[in-house]
């Protein structure tokens, strides 16, 4: 009965994640968000958008399993758990990067408005609500064990793939501004350090989320 309740709750939260992400991202084609200030396809260059899309894909796949699990308890495929791990880690990277880096940097320039601006309107959903719901689903509601070595690499994967676009476009081609401030005002020599920190950060988050799954061994 407890597993059934957890499954139903996860189903509801997955639906919320998909609907809220779809509406929030869709708004970029009509009204520019206060925090990102980008419209149309330009919005897809932001990790915030891409991570929420990845999490939505994972949620869609999870919903199919949730529904099947309502009738007969079936084992969750490993690929789905790893996809959920990658998506959850990606939105958690978004959440923590905004809270501890981007928002404080904004506060230095614009005071408390610079901090809260990243949690206003659609940005609140993409930066906070969806990441929190994803963490709850992965660490609390998902009852199935996820075992294996170096699971943190699956959490690292979205960051690595995104860096393959961000680094060339910002540092080499210079067709994107450094909107995440990893070069600290154009100091490209520091970029390798920033990239390494983000890689380690993402790997650690992925491994940490696995260990938060009801204390199960990973």
pLDDT at 46 over 90: yes
The pLDDT, as a whole number, for residue 214 is 60
Distances (CA, A) of 134 to 91, 112, 129, 200: 8, 27, 9, 21
pLDDT at 35 over 60: no
Tokens of 62: 């999870």
Contact 204, 91 (CB under 8 A): no
Stated as kind and residue range, the H or E segment containing 10 is helix 2-26
Share of the chain above pLDDT 70, in %: 93
CA triplet 98, 102, 104: central angle to 5 degrees? 105
pLDDT at 36 over 80: no
Class of residue 16 by CB neighbours under 10 A (exposed 0-12, middle 13-18, buried 19+): middle
The pLDDT, as a whole number, for residue 34 is 47
Residue 218 pLDDT grade (very low, low, confident, very high; cuts 50, 70, 90): very low
The pLDDT, as a whole number, for residue 120 is 81
pLDDT at 89 over 80: yes
Contact 180, 197 (CB under 8 A): no
pTM summary value: 0.92
Contact 202, 156 (CB under 8 A): yes
Q: Is 183 helix (H, G, I), strand (E, B) or coil?
A: coil
Contacts of 103 (CB under 8 A, 6+ apart): 114, 115, 118, 119
Q: Output 164 or 118, whichever has higher pLDDT.
A: 164
Average pLDDT of the chain is 90
pLDDT in tens, 129-156: 999 999 999 999 998 989 888 999 999 9
Contact 154, 204 (CB under 8 A): no
pLDDT at 40 over 90: no
Distance from C-alpha of 188 to C-alpha of 207, rounded to nearest angstrom: 29
Nearest C-alpha neighbor of 55 from the set 87, 17, 23: 87
Residue 215 pLDDT grade (very low, low, confident, very high; cuts 50, 70, 90): very low
């Amino acid at each position: 009965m407890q597993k059934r309740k957890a499954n139903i709750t996860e189903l509801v939260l997955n639906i919320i994640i998909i609907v809220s992400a779809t509406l929030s991202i869709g708004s970029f084609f009509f009204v520019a968000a206060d925090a990102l200030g980008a419209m149309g396809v330009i919005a897809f260059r932001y990790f915030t958008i891409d991570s929420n899309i990845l999490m939505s894909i994972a949620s869609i796949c999870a919903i199919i399993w949730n529904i099947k699990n309502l009738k007969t308890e079936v084992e969750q495929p490993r690929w789905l758990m790893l996809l959920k791990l990658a998506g959850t880690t990606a939105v958690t990277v978004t959440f923590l990067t905004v809270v501890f880096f981007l928002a404080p940097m904004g506060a230095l320039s614009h005071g408390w408005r610079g901090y809260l601006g990243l949690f206003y309107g659609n940005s609140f959903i993409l930066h906070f609500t969806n990441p929190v719901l994803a963490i709850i689903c992965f660490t609390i509601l998902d009852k199935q064990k996820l075992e294996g070595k170096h699971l943190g690499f699956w959490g690292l994967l979205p960051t690595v793939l995104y860096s393959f676009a961000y680094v060339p476009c910002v540092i080499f081609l210079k067709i994107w501004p450094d909107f995440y401030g990893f070069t600290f005002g154009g100091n490209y020599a520091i970029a390798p350090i920033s990239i390494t920190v983000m890689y380690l950060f993402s790997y650690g988050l992925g491994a940490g989320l696995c260990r938060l799954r009801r204390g199960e061994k990973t």
